[in-house]
Amino acid sequence: MVVQNIQFLAQQDSAPELLHLRCYMTDENTVDWMNKIDRDPVMPTHVLKRLSYSADADLRMAVADHANTALDVHLMLAEDENPDVRLALAENHNISRDVLKRLAEDSNPYVADLAMKTLSRLSLNDSENFSWRSCGAA
């Protein structure tokens, strides 16, 4: 179902960047796509954006965790109806703090708590890095 939806989108859009998307299109299921996302650290952002519209929450979670996912996709996924997708974002240390701050105000207490913990860890890392640089400069 997911792959069929993506194939349809690829066929409907004649933009040149979708040639890369078509290269990914076969009869893969969601698990295959999640493995492909995990193995491809340079998966193009436009492919990840298309996959972020999947009906499958597990696939959206994999997109949320990918290092190459764009800020606009993270912002969209921060509003996802599925709390598991928002939880995946909330534990991601590589996303914008603005996204984490938005998630810290989430209506789901688990999402909000995890986002606050991630922000706290990032702040702690920043202060440790600052202290380390200060000591090294002396």
The span from the CA of 88 to the CA of 111, in Å, is 9
pLDDT tens across 55-65, in order? 889 989 999 99
CA proximity to 123, closest of 131, 9, 85, 109? 131
The Cβ of residue 13 has, within 10 Å, a number of other Cβ atoms equal to: 12
Reduced to 3 states, what is the DSSP secondary structure of residue 109? helix
pLDDT tens across 2-39, in order? 444 444 444 444 444 444 444 444 445 667 777 777 77
The span from the CA of 104 to the CA of 111, in Å, is 7
Q: Torsions phi, psi of 67, nearest 5?
A: -65, -20
Lowest average pLDDT, out of 26-30, 74-78, 83-87, goes to 26-30
CB 51 within 8 A of CB 63: yes
